[in-house]
Amino acid sequence: MKDVTTAVVTGGNRGIGYAVAAELVRRNYHVVLVTRDRERGERAAAALGGSADLVVGDLSVLSEVRSVADGLLRQCGHIDVLVHNAGIWPSRLVHTPDGLERAFVVNHLAPFLLNHLLEERLLANRTRVVQVSAGLYIKGRLDLNRTPVGADFHQMRTYCTTKLANLLMVPLFARRWQGAGVHIDAVHPGVIRTDLGDPGGVRGLLLKAVKRSWAAPGQGAAPVVRLALSSGGPSGRYFDVDQQVPLEPIAADPAMAERVWDQAMTLTGLSGVA
């Protein structure tokens, strides 16, 4: 019988992810942070004390997503909570070693692939999965031919579009896990003061000045933690902070969702996997 409750938080070394991890540690969870940078991850884990461990991997590279999953399976005999928090707002077009646009991988394909690679462990533990989303998904314009490779790259719209692609998957995972005890919800945590989208330079300094009036990461973590600790309720919900709201039609198109799922299966090398 397990004697500790374990939560995995991707992008857990700063911002909302770190605030989520800190609150879960405060509630006596053992937290495993997934971070791209080892040094920053180690500092974050140390600051959280003996209740935090670390798995390092770049979630923009599909082979490293697989390595992260392997690391989590080795470190976590069980996973009670999985928080997909890692995300990027790209300021320029960057292609990954897989030839894909970087935000498309981090914001969409990485959580999709992790859900599959960890699925056996999730099913065994009736895990609660929380997907940190963004209300800006409504501005997304998904082109299955152009978006994955950044042919339609735009400094704002690419973030919105990749969040839309990710959100389209949530109802399908809820349906896949229906009756198996694994629960998934998505949440827009609000407009929060983090480094997300900072372009650097003069524009970056101006944006930081604007962000001073935005809510602190701890406030953004609160609705994420609430869902992580929740029990009961239907799966596949979307929350705007603390309020459950229906998905806008652009994210509630079942035919498009199926197409995005099938493409993600192919791009992640999962085609042929049940």
Catalytic positions are: 159
Interatomic CA distance for residues 110 and 62, integer angstroms: 7
Cα dist from 85 to 59, 110, 177, 182, whole Å = 11, 11, 20, 18
* CB proximity list for 193: less than 8 A, separation 6 or greater: 211, 212, 214, 215, 216, 217
Half-sphere exposure in the Cβ direction for 158 (13 Å, CA): 26
Q: 81-84 and 5-10: which strand pairing? A: parallel
Query: What is the CB neighbour count within 10 angstroms for residue 53?
Result: 18
d(CA 30, CA 79): 10
Sheet containing 237-240: order of strands? 52-56, 29-35, 5-10, 81-84, 128-132, 183-188, 237-240, 243-244
Q: Answer yes or no: are the C-beta atoms of 241 and 187 closer than 8 Å.
A: yes
DSSP for residue 152: T
Cα distance between residue 229 and residue 236, in whole Å: 16
